[in-house]
């Protein structure tokens, strides 16, 4: 970047400072609204957190292998990272236990992801029950009671009307009114009123209601035998029995103990409650697809077939090879059920809420609880064979992200029992954090002293750049703590301290290149311009190497080392932004002041102090004078030489020879000076 391209360095400085100020304003607003705080979150070693010890079990009683535990640990780590919690520690304890330590106060959703066994399956829907038998029984009893009350009220009204119409004269109105009132009172309080006794007065129990609802063949008994069915797929009624339907109606899916989840046999039909606590009861067929067959899941805004983006949040799935084949078969079967239900509803032989229409759906079941059920859109007319599925359902952004996380990291090879769950204190505490910050301040002070001694006035530019880099780094760390749950560990603090040296390295490279150009006789403006051209390449290469090392270390390490790599990478990016957007524009800007622009001996840019040759300095002064006057030095020299030649032509011959010799000597010196000036 040359100086003529940076015409308004002050504007760039103001723009960068404005961005930093706006960032701090956003952080202050988030703190005022309770969404975040001004200080970054701290990791386990500095704040403490929650520790959960899990004991793994298998559904078939088989032996737990080391590979099973390693896979379980990796999936738990992926789940925790996906929720935005960083600096978590997940490791084996003893023989088969897994210890999970989460910093701070994690949310219940995060703790649930760790506590639950979370085996995920795609199952076909056989029946959807909106309420249990107890709810139906209560509704029935309330209905009977309301009918009886309505009947008693109607009887009282009829008796009052009949008494009023029996009055034959206007003088008997009062008597008629009294008679009507007495009749209404008697009718309302008499339990033997014909209208009331005509309705059932007995109440039904939940068991009686469940028996009535589950008795498919109407024989008055609940049979465990499979229902009759014309199909033999996983959506067939052959997987149902009256006993299973009765058990489903007797399940209270609003109770807390029904929402804890449990391991279920993937080879048989099961009863599942809605995970959201709405009370919906699902009877589901055998699992068609396991969660391990999901290759990836992500959330985002819906994109239509025309390429436009809507405001609807969706979850996009991609299956592996086995899952792709299985889902193709599932989609073909469910689409056939959907079309059959639609045809039956069109002919009046069925309705949209029939069992056939319910069978056109599949349920996503996580740890025995139904996350959601979904069918296929009407525009999907053929089986989905590419393994790419988009799930929509009036999601919010948070709901779509949660579902994507559950689908991505939902299948564990094991089930877990929570052995213990407790709060743990910080392993290091705030004293170590304070010591680390003091070490950083001492290092910063020593750097300021060195800059003042070595670079004099230029130390102001370096210190200002360091302060801007520190403010920018703190802002980025605080915003990342807000947006993605990043937490600062003591290793991360070490990364921040090392970043001071990285930033100083960039300043030194830049300043030394500028001073080298001044030593070579360039003017200060040209020296800053040329020095930046060379220093920029060096700084970018150096920061790129540091950033690459931080990225590699981040992905290969875990725990505290990963936190160190993260802060190292962040500060490297900030350093690159500050040197380009602040340090160089400030160097160009300060040359407008006489103290720096004229190379004061305390400015750090004094040519004599830097060892510049007087001849070169003089040549630089001539160039500066020529530039200031708007003329070309070479053009002026040529004009003077032509004028001298014309004067020589008019002079006597003897004088001409002597003068020619003298002029030739001057011309040779001037030609040499012009070449040097043009090269400069």
Please determine, for residue 180, whether its predicted confidence score (pLDDT) is greater than 50: no
In this prediction, residue 434 carries a pLDDT of 76
End-to-end CA distance of the chain: 18
Bridge partners, 480 (sequence order): none
C-alpha pair distances (Å), 96 with each of 70, 114, 239, 419: 10, 16, 37, 12
- pLDDT at 563 (0 to 100): 79
The stretch 90-108 carries a mean pLDDT of 82
SS3 581: helix
Of 116, 84, 86, residue with least CA distance to 101 = 86
What is the pTM (predicted TM-score) of this model? 0.51
% the chain with pLDDT above 90: 8
Alpha-carbon span 645 to 660, nearest angstrom: 9
| Interhelix angle 524-556/559-578, nearest 10 degrees | 160
Contacting residues for 3 by C-beta, under 8 A, at least 6 apart: 525, 526, 528, 529, 588
CB atoms within 10 A of CB 646: 8
CA angle 621, 627, 630 (to 5 degrees): 140
Across 266-271, average pLDDT: 89
- 655: burial class by Cβ within 10 Å (0-12, 13-18, 19+)? exposed
Higher confidence at residue 604 or residue 544? 544
Strand order of the β-sheet with 294-303 is 294-303, 309-319, 388-395
State how far the Cα of 377 lies from the Cα of 431, in Å rounded to an integer: 59
Does the pLDDT value for residue 21 go beyond 90?
A: yes
Looking at the domain covering 49-117+418-424, what would its CATH class be? alpha beta
Residue 368, burial from CB neighbour count under 10 angstroms (0-12, 13-18, 19+): buried
Whether the CB-CB separation of 80 and 100 falls below 8 Å is answered with yes
More confident call, 554 vs 347: 554
Confidence at residue 354, expressed as pLDDT on a 0 to 100 scale: 62
**Whole-angstrom Cα Rg for the chain:** 42
DSSP state of 241: B
440-464 pLDDT, tens digit per residue, is: 788 788 888 888 888 888 888 888 8
Distance CA 451, CA 505 (A): 12
Whole-angstrom Cα distance, residue 178 to residue 596? 111
**Mean per-residue pLDDT for 62-79?**
75
More confidently predicted of 115 and 647: 115
Alpha helices in 557-598 (DSSP H): 559-578, 584-590, 594-597
Asked if 72 and 64 count as a contact pair (C-beta separation under 8 A), the reply is no
- Model confidence over 650-672: pLDDT tens digits? 555 544 444 443 434 444 444 44
* Confidence band for 22, pLDDT divided at 50, 70 and 90: very high
Distance CA 133, CA 222 (A): 15
pLDDT at 656: 45
pLDDT at 629 over 70: no
Q: How many helices (H) and strands (E) does the chain have?
A: 23, 15
d(CA 540, CA 526): 21
Which tokens go with 143?
């209905």
Q: Which of 260, 251, 278, 276 is nearest to 132 (CA)?
A: 251
Any idea where the domains of the chain sit in the sequence? 3-41+429-597, 49-117+418-424, 123-132+211-411, 138-205, 632-679
Q: Are 551 and 573 in contact (CB under 8 A)?
A: no
Q: What is the pLDDT of residues 561-592, one digit of tens each?
A: 787 888 889 999 999 999 989 998 988 888 88
The arithmetic mean of pLDDT across residues 176-194, rounded, is 41
- For the segment 185-204, the average pLDDT, to the nearest whole number, is 43
Is the separation of the CB atoms in 443 and 497 below 8 Å? Answer: yes
- Please tell me the distance from the alpha carbon of residue 478 to that of residue 507, in angstroms, as a whole number: 25
Which distant-in-sequence residues (6+ apart) come within 8 Å of 116 by Cβ? Answer: 261, 366, 367, 416
Are the CB atoms for 138 and 203 separated by under 8 Å?
Answer: no
Look at the block and give the residue holding tokens 């804890």: 260
pLDDT digits (tens, 9 = 90+) for 373-427: 888 877 777 888 888 888 887 788 888 887 887 777 666 556 777 888 888 776 6
Nearest Cα to Cα of residue 382 among 338, 320, 341: 338
Return the ∠ at Cα 552 (arms to 549 and 555), rounded to 5°. Answer: 145
Instruction: Say if CB 373 and CB 361 are below 8 A apart.
Output: yes
Residue 140 has what pLDDT?
73
User: For all residues of the chain together, what is the average pLDDT?
Assistant: 75
The answer to whether 109 and 136 have CB atoms below 8 angstroms apart is no
Which two structure tokens, joined as six digits, stand for 502?
């990285």
Q: What is the mean pLDDT of residues 146-158?
A: 65
The closest alpha carbon to 375, from 189, 125, 144, 19, belongs to: 125
Note the CATH number of domain 3-41+429-597.
1.20.1640.10
- Which of 384, 385, 390, 330 shows the shortest CA–CA distance to 360? 330
Q: pLDDT tens digits, residue range 316-327? A: 888 989 889 999
Which range in 57-71, 153-167, 432-446, 617-631 is most confidently predicted, on average pLDDT?
Answer: 432-446
Q: 257: which residues sit within 8 A by CB, 6+ positions away? A: none
Measure the CA–CA gap between 258 and 260, rounded to whole angstroms.
6
**What digits encode the pLDDT tens for the residues 284-313?**
999 999 887 888 888 888 887 677 888 888
Residue 201 is predicted with a pLDDT of 47
Q: Give the mean pLDDT of 94-120.
A: 77
| Confidence band for 19, pLDDT divided at 50, 70 and 90 | very high
| pLDDT of 25 higher than 90 | yes
Find the helix or strand (DSSP H, E) in which 297 lies: strand 294-303
- Total Cβ atoms within 10 A of residue 629: 10
């Amino acid at each position: 970047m040359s100086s003529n391209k940076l015409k308004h360095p002050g504007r760039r400085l103001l723009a960068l400072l404005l961005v930093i100020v706006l960032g701090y304003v956003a952080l202050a607003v988030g703190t005022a609204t309770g969404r975040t705080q001004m200080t970054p979150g701290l990791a386990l070693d500095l704040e403490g957190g929650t520790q959960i010890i899990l004991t793994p079990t298998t559904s078939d009683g088989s032996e737990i292998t080391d590979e099973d535990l390693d896979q379980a640990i990796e999936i738990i780590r992926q789940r925790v990272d996906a929720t935005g919690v960083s600096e978590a520690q997940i490791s084996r304890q003893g023989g088969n236990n897994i210890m999970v330590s989460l910093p701070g106060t994690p949310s219940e959703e995060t703790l649930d992801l760790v506590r639950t066994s979370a085996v995920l399956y795609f199952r076909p829907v056989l029946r959807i029950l909106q309420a249990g038998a107890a709810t139906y029984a209560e509704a029935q009893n309330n209905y009977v009671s309301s009918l009886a009350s309505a009947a008693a009220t109607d009887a009282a009204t009829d008796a009052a009307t009949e008494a009023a119409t029996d009055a034959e004269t206007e003088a008997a109105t009062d008597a008629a009114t009294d008679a009507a009132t007495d009749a209404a009172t008697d009718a309302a309080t008499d339990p033997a009123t014909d209208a009331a006794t005509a309705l059932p007065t007995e109440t039904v129990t939940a068991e009686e209601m469940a028996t009535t609802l589950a008795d498919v063949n109407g024989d008055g008994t609940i049979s465990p035998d499979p229902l009759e069915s014309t199909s033999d797929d996983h959506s067939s009624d052959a997987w149902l029995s009256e006993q299973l339907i009765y058990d489903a109606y007797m399940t209270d899916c609003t109770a807390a103990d029904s929402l804890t989840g449990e391991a279920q046999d993937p080879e048989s039909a099961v009863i599942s409650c809605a995970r959201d606590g709405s009370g919906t009861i699902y009877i589901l067929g055998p699992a068609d697809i396991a969660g391990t067959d999901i290759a990836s899941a992500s959330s985002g805004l819906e994109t239509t077939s025309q390429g436009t983006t809507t405001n609807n949040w969706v979850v996009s799935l991609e299956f592996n090879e086995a899952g792709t084949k299985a889902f193709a078969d599932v989609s073909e079967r469910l689409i056939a059920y959907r079309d059959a239900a639609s045809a039956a509803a069109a002919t009046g032989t069925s309705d949209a809420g029939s069992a056939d229409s319910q069978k056109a759906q599949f349920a996503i079941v996580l740890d025995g609880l139904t996350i959601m059920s979904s069918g296929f859109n009407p525009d999907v007319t053929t089986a989905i064979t590419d393994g790419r599925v988009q799930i929509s359902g009036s999601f919010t952004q948070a709901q779509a992200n949660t579902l994507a996380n559950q689908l991505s990291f939902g299948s564990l090879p094991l089930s877990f029992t929570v052995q213990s769950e407790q709060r743990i204190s910080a392993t290091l505490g705030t004293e170590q954090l304070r010591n680390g910050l003091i070490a950083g301040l001492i290092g910063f002070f020593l750097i300021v002293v060195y800059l003042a001694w070595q670079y004099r006035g230029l130390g102001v530019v370096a210190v200002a750049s360091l302060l801007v880099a520190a403010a920018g780094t703190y802002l980025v760390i605080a915003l990342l703590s807000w947006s993605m749950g990043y937490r600062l560990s003591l290793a991360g603090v070490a990364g921040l301290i090392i970043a001071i040296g990285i930033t100083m390295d960039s300043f030194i490279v830049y300043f030394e290149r500028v001073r080298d150009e001044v030593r070579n006789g360039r003017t200060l403006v040209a020296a800053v311009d040329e020095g930046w051209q060379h220093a920029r390449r060096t700084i970018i290469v150096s920061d790129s190497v540091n950033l690459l090392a931080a990225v590699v270390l981040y992905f290969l390490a875990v725990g505290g080392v990963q936190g160190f790599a993260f802060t190292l990478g962040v500060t490297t990016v900030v350093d690159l932004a500050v040197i380009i957007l602040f340090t160089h524009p400030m160097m160009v800007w300060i040359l407008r002041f006489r103290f720096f622009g004229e190379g004061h001996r305390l400015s750090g840019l004094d040519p004599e102090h830097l060892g510049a040759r007087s001849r070169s300095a003089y040549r630089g002064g001539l160039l500066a004078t020529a530039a200031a006057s708007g003329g070309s030095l070479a053009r002026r020299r040529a004009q003077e030489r032509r004028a001298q030649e014309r004067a020589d032509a008019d002079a006597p011959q003897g004088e001409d020879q002597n003068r020619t010799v003298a002029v030739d000597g001057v011309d040779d010196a001037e030609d040499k000076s012009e070449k040097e000036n043009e090269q400069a």
